[in-house]
């Protein structure tokens, strides 16, 4: 266990950030799943900008890699455009 006051504070900060990042990541995964399972094109078109915005925010905060965000956005856009 750490003995320095600053090290104890760093441990508390890291844990708080880890939990916050887990929450953001899980929320994005749930939104992705909902969009992938959407059958209605108009609803999917409505959801797409929100999901893309979520992915951009995650990439900006380094929760996911920027290339992963780009790949997901590309796949989702193709999926939505392919809906009948």
The pLDDT value recorded for residue 1 is 74
84 residues of the chain, pLDDT tens digit each: 788 999 999 999 999 999 999 999 999 999 999 999 999 999 999 999 999 999 999 999 999 999 999 999 999 999 999 997
Residue in 67, 58, 9 with CA at minimum distance from that of residue 32: 58
The CATH number that applies at residue 30 is 1.20.58.110
Q: How many CB atoms lie within 10 A of CB 63?
A: 17
The pLDDT value recorded for residue 3 is 86
Q: pTM value?
A: 0.84
Provide the domain count of the chain. Answer: 1
Domain range for 12 is 5-82
């Amino acid at each position: 266990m750490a003995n320095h006051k600053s090290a104890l504070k760093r441990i508390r900060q890291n844990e708080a950030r880890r939990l916050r990042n887990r929450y953001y990541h899980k929320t994005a995964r749930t939104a992705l799943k909902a969009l992938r399972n959407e059958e209605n094109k108009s609803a999917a078109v409505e959801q797409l900008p929100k999901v893309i915005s979520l992915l951009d925010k995650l990439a900006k905060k380094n929760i996911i890699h920027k290339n992963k965000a780009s790949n997901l956005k590309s796949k989702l856009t193709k999926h939505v455009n392919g809906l009948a």
